[in-house]
């Protein structure tokens, strides 16, 4: 199936010379929830702003639902709803008026039945006559989403949808995003909460220093890069790793209190039996043992760190 968004060779150098995006290729599949992750300043908002037609790319092309975002701006824009990072919510207007007005801005004919359905879906129906400024933070966020969906776009961008939102509200938001996807909307979100991507996304893209360094199915990613860790609390601390454990994927913790053994989740042979046998042969006793699976966060931090080390190495060589 043709992707709903297709970006090819997109670069952006801002006035003043800062290059925020470098040759980005990215395809978003129809109907998916795609999480774009990256550290502060990586270029996430720049990429979203280009796709939404708010920032002009320096080079490259983007198609949104088959429409070129520059040549065919109106058609492309009508397919897209954007909930920006900064929420402008100081309005005296009612929820109903704001959302209805927003639809009109896209030249869509009024459709009170659709607006009602939208407000109900976002649990805002009983607030339809309230002034926006009188709503709670969580409700304001939902109004922003209602505005972004008012013209019935197929694609919804959520730029950090749950920044500064409490845990309960965050869970509500996740549920709402899932239900939007079920109604056929493709969702692209940026987030700093890796847990959020882990919870919601079908696929994950990582952007770092303006480059897309990885795009993968979330489950595949976690299987491919996920590691398990077996940690043993030693009965007697050590000052160095004993020779009998040489050649195994095992490390001694800095305080000498724990042995940490890494193994591959998908590997049939973890080598743990051999590890435990060697411990026994060497009379190394342990008091406690537990395992931990690496999270998307571990994977993400590892990736960004590896990229940084690589860059520093290149810089020192040039
Ligand atoms: N209008 C602008 N002029 C010059 N530089 C800009 C402009 N907008 C963004 N930048 C720079 O481009 C880089 C990428 O910014 P961007 O907002 O896209 O990052 P981000 O990944 O969304 O970060 P965050 O997670 O902090 O929101 C940053 O270094 C930023 O300072």
What DSSP letter does each residue of 18-68 carry, written as one string?
-EEEEEEEEEE-TT-EEEEE--TTSSHHHHHHHHTTSS--SEEEEEETTEE
Q: Which of 255, 259, 257 is nearest to 230 (CA)?
A: 259
pLDDT at position 296: 67
DSSP summary character for residue 266: T
Section 143-148 average pLDDT: 91
Give the pLDDT mean for 172-176: 82
Query: Which of 301 and 226 is assigned the larger pLDDT?
Result: 301
The pLDDT of residue 10 is 97
| Per-residue pLDDT at 176 exceeds 80 | yes
Q: What is the pLDDT of residue 43?
A: 92
Average pLDDT over residues 39-62: 93
Q: What is the pLDDT of residues 28-37, one digit of tens each?
A: 999 999 999 8
pLDDT band, very low/low/confident/very high, at 225 (cuts 50, 70, 90): low
Predicted confidence (pLDDT) per residue in 267-293, tens digit: 667 788 888 888 888 889 888 888 776
According to the model, what pLDDT value does residue 146 have?
92
Ligand 1 binding pocket mutation candidate from 10, 14, 52 (most atoms within 8 A of CB): 14
Measured from the Cα of 210, ligand 1's closest atom is: 14
Ligand 1 centroid, distance to 182 Cα (angstroms): 32
pLDDT at residue 266 in the model: 60
Radius of gyration for the alpha carbons in the chain, expressed in angstroms and rounded: 24
pLDDT recorded at residue 128 = 95
* 190 neighbors 43 (Cβ within 8 angstroms): no
Residue 318 burial by Cβ neighbours in a 10 Å radius (0-12, 13-18, 19+): exposed
**Per-residue model confidence (pLDDT) at position 224:** 63
Q: How far is the CA of 218 from the centre of ligand 1 (A)?
A: 26
pLDDT band at 265 (very low <50, low <70, confident <90, very high): low
Ligand 1: which of 22, 37, 46, 192 to mutate, most ligand atoms within 8 Å of CB? 46
What pLDDT sits at residue 101? 93
CA-closest residue to ligand 1 atom 17 = 45
Instruction: Give the global pTM.
Output: 0.77
Among the residue ranges 58-62, 169-173, 208-212, 275-279, the one predicted with the least confidence is 169-173
ipTM attached to this prediction: 0.95
Domain 5-222 sits in which CATH superfamily? P-loop containing nucleotide triphosphate hydrolases (3.40.50.300)
Domain boundaries, the chain: 5-222, 227-293
- d(CA 235, CA 134) in angstroms, rounded, equals 60
**CA torsion through residues 223, 203, 190, 303, sign:** positive
The CATH class of the 227-293 domain is alpha beta
**Structural tokens at position 193:** 């909460």
Indicate if 227-293 has the same CATH topology as 5-222: no
Among 53-62, 108-117, 180-189, 221-230, name the one with the lowest average pLDDT. 221-230
Distance CA 160, CA 145 (A): 12
Residue nearest to atom 16 of ligand 1 (CA): 43
Q: What are 95's two structure tokens?
A: 């929820």
Is the distance from the beta carbon of residue 45 to the nearest atom of ligand 1 less than 6 Å?
Answer: yes
Give the tokens for residue 5: 């968004």
């Amino acid at each position: 199936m043709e992707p709903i968004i297709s970006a090819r060779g997109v670069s952006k150098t801002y006035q003043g010379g800062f290059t925020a995006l470098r040759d980005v290729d990215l395809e978003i599949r129809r109907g998916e929830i795609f999480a774009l992750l990256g550290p502060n300043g990586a270029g996430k908002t720049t990429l979203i702003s280009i796709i939404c037609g708010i920032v002009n790319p320096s080079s490259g092309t983007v198609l949104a639902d088959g429409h070129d975002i520059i040549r065919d701006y109106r058609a492309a824009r009508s397919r897209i709803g954007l909930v920006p990072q900064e929420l402008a919510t100081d309005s005296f207007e009612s929820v109903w008026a704001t959302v209805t007005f927003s639809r009109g801005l896209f030249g869509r004919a009024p459709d009170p039945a659709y607006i009602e359905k939208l407000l109900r879906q976002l649990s805002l129906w009983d607030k339809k006559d309230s002034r926006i400024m009188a709503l709670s933070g969580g409700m304001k966020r939902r109004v922003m989403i209602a505005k972004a969906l008012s013209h019935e776009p197929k694609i919804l961008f959520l730029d950090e949808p749950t920044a500064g939102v409490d845990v309960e509200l965050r869970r509500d938001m996740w549920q709402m995003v899932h239900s939007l996807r079920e109604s056929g909307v493709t969702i692209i979100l940026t987030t700093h909460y890796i847990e959020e991507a882990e919870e919601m996304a079908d696929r994950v893209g990582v952007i770092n220093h303006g480059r897309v360094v990885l795009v993968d199915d979330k489950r595949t990613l976690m299987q491919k890069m996920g590691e398990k860790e077996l940690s043993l609390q030693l009965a007697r601390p050590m000052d160095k790793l004993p020779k009998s454990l040489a050649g195994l994927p095992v490390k001694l913790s800095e305080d000498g209190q724990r042995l940490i053994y890494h193994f591959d989740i998908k590997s049939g042979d973890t080598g743990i039996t051999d590890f435990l046998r060697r411990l026994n042969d060497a009379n190394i006793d342990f008091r406690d043992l537990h395992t931990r699976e690496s999270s998307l966060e571990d994977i993400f931090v590892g990736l960004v760190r590896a990229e940084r080390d690589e860059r520093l190495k290149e810089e020192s060589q040039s």
